[in-house]
């Protein structure tokens, strides 16, 4: 017969053995910080999505994730000096110079999506269907023929955007004598929504991914000249604005501190259509970004598990 004292001692010893066995895993768990651009919804969704995956997979070796929202320039300063470990939605070529300036410390580890088109758009009712006021409008260089229809106004993003600077060159290069109306993101979207609701003609610059493409039927005007290296040098700009890709960037030292998590970052990819659908749920259905990101992970369980199986050996 085993005494109560010995029984308690045995359970205590067993408990201590389990705790000791668990210590190495706890000791090697890492805290990570993910930076995202707080004025750009896809970045917030991607940061939340990664955090949800980490919460569900202890094998990644991460004890805690901190999400840090900030503007573009401070985000790059933060990852260079180690305030954050990861930066999502690094748009290339738009942020190429920022990446190059951080080359000794930061690198891209995975492409979230590619070939995100941007350019001049009009609502489909402007160029197609019964009563379309501009059925012959197909290309950017034809806009001058429709100056009166569009009240000689081209709607664009704010002056601080690289694409806005390129569009200034493009309008001049193609002889499009329109007012180049440069607006905040909110003001531009409000102008597009108002025109759509009233079925009024409007021509504007826009880009994927965005929830607008899930709500309205938009047509991208064809480019007479594709983008090529050097076409914006010397202020010429007689070419398309290049499409861009979105990447995950990380500090190089993260690979040693959290190898499986680092490997996971190289696996994550998102269809542009999925990103736009998630954006629509946040903007139009008023669902919290975290809830939307969680729903995406739930709906893509098999895909996430495939990512995890690929990082298991790290």
H or E stretch covering 220:
strand 218-220
Is residue 314 a contact partner of residue 308, using CB atoms and an 8 Å limit?
no
Instruction: Report helix, strand or coil for 183.
Output: coil
pLDDT value of residue 8: 40
pLDDT at position 233: 87
Report residues of the chain scoring pLDDT below 50.
Answer: 1-27
CA 108 to chain centre: 14
Please check whether the two domains, 29-116+244-311 and 118-235, share a CATH topology.
yes
Separation between Cα atoms, residue 45 and residue 42, nearest integer Å: 5
CB-based contacts of 178, cutoff 8 Å, min separation 6? 143, 147, 150, 152, 153, 154, 171, 203
CATH of domain 118-235: 3.40.190.100
pLDDT of res. 283: 93
Q: Phi and psi at residue 6, in whole multiples of 5°?
A: -65, -35
Dig out the tokens for 308 from the structure: 């995890």
What are 69's strand-pairing partners? 36
Q: How high is the pLDDT of residue 28?
A: 63
CATH number of 29-116+244-311: 3.40.190.10
Contact partners, residue 302, CB within 8 Å, separation at least 6: none
Residue 27, exposed/middle/buried by CB under 10 A (0-12, 13-18, 19+)? exposed
Element (H, E) at 113: strand 106-116
Residue 277: how many other CB atoms lie within 10 Å: 16
> What are the sequence ranges of the domains in the chain?
29-116+244-311, 118-235
Q: What is the CA radius of gyration of the chain?
A: 25
């Amino acid at each position: 017969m085993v005494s109560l004292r010995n029984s308690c001692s045995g359970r205590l010893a067993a408990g201590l053995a389990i705790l000791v066995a668990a210590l190495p895993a706890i000791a090697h768990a890492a805290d990570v910080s993910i930076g995202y651009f707080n004025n750009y919804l896809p970045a917030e969704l991607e940061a939340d999505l990664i955090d949800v995956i980490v919460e569900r997979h202890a094998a990644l070796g991460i004890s805690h994730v901190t999400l840090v929202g900030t503007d573009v320039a401070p985000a790059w300063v933060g990852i260079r000096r180690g305030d954050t470990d990861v930066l999502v939605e690094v748009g290339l070529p738009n942020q190429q110079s920022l990446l190059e300036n951080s080359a000794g410390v930061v690198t891209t580890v995975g492409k979230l999506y590619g070939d995100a088109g941007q350019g001049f758009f009009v609502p489909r009712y402007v160029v197609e269907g019964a009563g379309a006021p501009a059925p012959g409008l197909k290309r950017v260089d034809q806009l001058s023929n429709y100056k009166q229809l569009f009240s000689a106004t081209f709607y664009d993003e704010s002056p601080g955007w690289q694409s806005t600077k390129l569009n200034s060159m493009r309008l001049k290069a193609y002889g499009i004598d329109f007012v180049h109306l440069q607006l905040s993101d909110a003001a531009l979207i409000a102008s597009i929504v108002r025109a759509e609701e009233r079925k009024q003609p409007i021509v504007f610059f826009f880009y994927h991914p965005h929830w607008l493409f899930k709500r309205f039927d938009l047509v991208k005007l064809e480019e007479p000249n594709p983008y090529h290296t050097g076409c914006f040098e010397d202020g010429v700009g007689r070419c398309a604005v290049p499409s861009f890709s979105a990447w995950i960037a990380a500090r190089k030292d993260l690979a040693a501190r959290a190898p499986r998590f680092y490997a996971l970052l190289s696996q994550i990819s998102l269809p542009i259509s999925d990103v736009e659908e998630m954006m629509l749920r946040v903007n139009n259905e008023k669902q919290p970004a975290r809830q939307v990101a969680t729903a995406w992970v739930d709906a893509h369980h098999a895909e996430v598990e495939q990512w995890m199986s690929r990082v298991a050996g790290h």
